[in-house]
A and B are shown apart, each in its own frame.
Chain A
Amino acid sequence: MVARPRIEVFEQRAADYDAWFRGPAGRVLFPIEADTVRLVLQGAPRPWLEVGVGTGAFAAELGVELGLDPAGEPMLYARRRGVTCIQGVAEALPFRDGSIGALLLVVTVCFLEDPTVALREAARALAPGGRVIIGEVTADSAWGRAYRKLGEAGHPFYAPARFFTMRQTEELLAAVGLRATRYASTLVQPYARLPQPEPARAGVAEGASFVAIAAARA
């Protein structure tokens, strides 16, 4: 039995969610977060799949050809952005063993009911030499703490999110036989409603709130 994912908010508010990418915070954060993910994605074998593709902004920006999401409504946006969409859940992937070169979870692990089940599926679907790529705001960072507060105050998108520290993410990966091989990071600035652009950095910068991790089979 697979738990019903916490998708209702994304089904009902796809337009609001997609508008974030063009808003005052999103239009700064989205490109630097995409650049950060790109640093650990480039060179991975094809095909590339984004699990939790949503409206497809990251997938389109990063040249990811396949997208999976339990919510149908946001994928209508992803499809318009040229992403091949498949409705499904991370916990029961409809992909053959060893078929995916890069499986991306960009700001998705925080919304999963059971990340361990999802990551076990990701590891199963991974092709030889493939990478599972996680991009997340870390729980113990300035932005992670701010998002958690927003969630506790009832923010529709942050309320269902559960953020992890980088160590917790590495433990989740290790539990399914994956090992982190590359890191990149950004967002060393303090939380602000109107963030400033900043570069994506290889490795984990001191104080970085957004981290991208590429993991391979251990």
Chain B
Amino acid sequence: MARLWLPHHYNRERVHDEEVRARQMKHDLMEILVCPVCKGELTLTVQQESGDEIVAGNLHCAKCNEDYPIEDTIPNLLPPELRK
């Protein structure tokens, strides 16, 4: 699974810790994200990557049949009625 965050994320950590933590967070981020409406599982589809980072993609909630876009590396998990 590709990462959703920036590699310089843990800029306060020592380098080797940073790698360990970043790997851990990569796992954790998809682990902790859910649909904002039903809190159900999201399925990640990657459309564009840059290095390790997802630039564009999609998070799909099967229960709500709703797509949450990842644009410019930021997942948009606003409830559908608040999205432009």
Chain A interfacial positions (CB closer than 8 Å to B): 1-2, 4-5, 47, 63, 65-66, 70, 72, 75, 79, 82-89, 92-97, 99-100
Contacts and interface: CB of A to CB of B under 8 A. Distances in A.
B14 interface: no
Contacts, number: 77
> How would you classify the secondary structure of chain A's contact residues: helix, strand, loop or mixed?
loop
Contacts of A2: 79, 81-82
B4 A84 contact: yes
B9 A88 contact: no
A70 B82 contact: yes
List 4 tightest A-B contacts by C-beta distance, closest first.
Answer: A84-B5, A94-B77, A99-B32, A92-B36
A89 B33 contact: no
A63 B81 contact: no
Contact of A47 (B32, B36, B39, B74): B32
6 contacts: A86-B33, A87-B75, A88-B36, A94-B68, A95-B33, A96-B32
Interface in B1-26: 4-6, 8-12, 25
B16 to A, nearest CB: 17
Contacts of B78: 70, 87-89
Nearest to B8: A82
A120 B76 CA distance: 21
User: Contact residue range for chain B?
Assistant: 20 to 34
A96 B81 contact: no
Contacts of A89: 36, 78-79, 82
Contacts of A96: 31-34, 39
B35 interface: yes
Contacts of A97: 39
Interface in B27-84: 28-29, 31-37, 39, 68, 73-79, 81-82
Contacts of B11: 82
Contacts of A85: 73-74
Given A79-B73, A82-B11, A65 B25 contact: yes
A2 B32 CA distance: 21
B18 to A, nearest CB: 11
Contact of B32 (A82, A87, A95): A95
B82 A84 contact: no
A99 B29 CA distance: 10
Contacts of B29: 66, 84
